[in-house]
Amino acid sequence: LIADRDLLMVLLHATCASSEPAIREAVRACYAKQVEYVRAASGASDEQIRRFFGDGLLANVLVGIDAAALDARWARTLLG
């Protein structure tokens, strides 16, 4: 996703717009498909999958707000 910032931003906006039932269902279906793909491709445990997605979601937000362009301690902490 980081390679395609526009797609990343669409997914972030869709998540934010999930109070709309049709969008919520589409976002849920997207996550379900991703989780099952990761499970099948990696054989990871539920905890490993949760961590993978947690790290990925943080990375998506950091890209979305262009945290790498900041010289701030909080941004450096989250960027690693």
- Is the model's pLDDT at 3 over the cut of 90? no
Note the pLDDT of residue 2.
Answer: 67
Task: Give the count of domains, the chain.
Answer: 1
Q: Which residue's entry shows tokens 């390679």?
A: 3
pLDDT in tens, 10-36: 989 999 999 999 999 999 999 999 999
Query: Do 23 and 10 touch, CB atoms closer than 8 A?
Result: no
Q: Which two tokens stand for residue 3?
A: 């390679």
Task: Please tell me the distance from the alpha carbon of residue 63 to that of residue 57, in angstroms, as a whole number.
Answer: 10
Show the domain range for 19: 5-79
Note the pLDDT of residue 57.
Answer: 93
pTM for this entry: 0.82
Note the pLDDT of residue 4.
Answer: 84
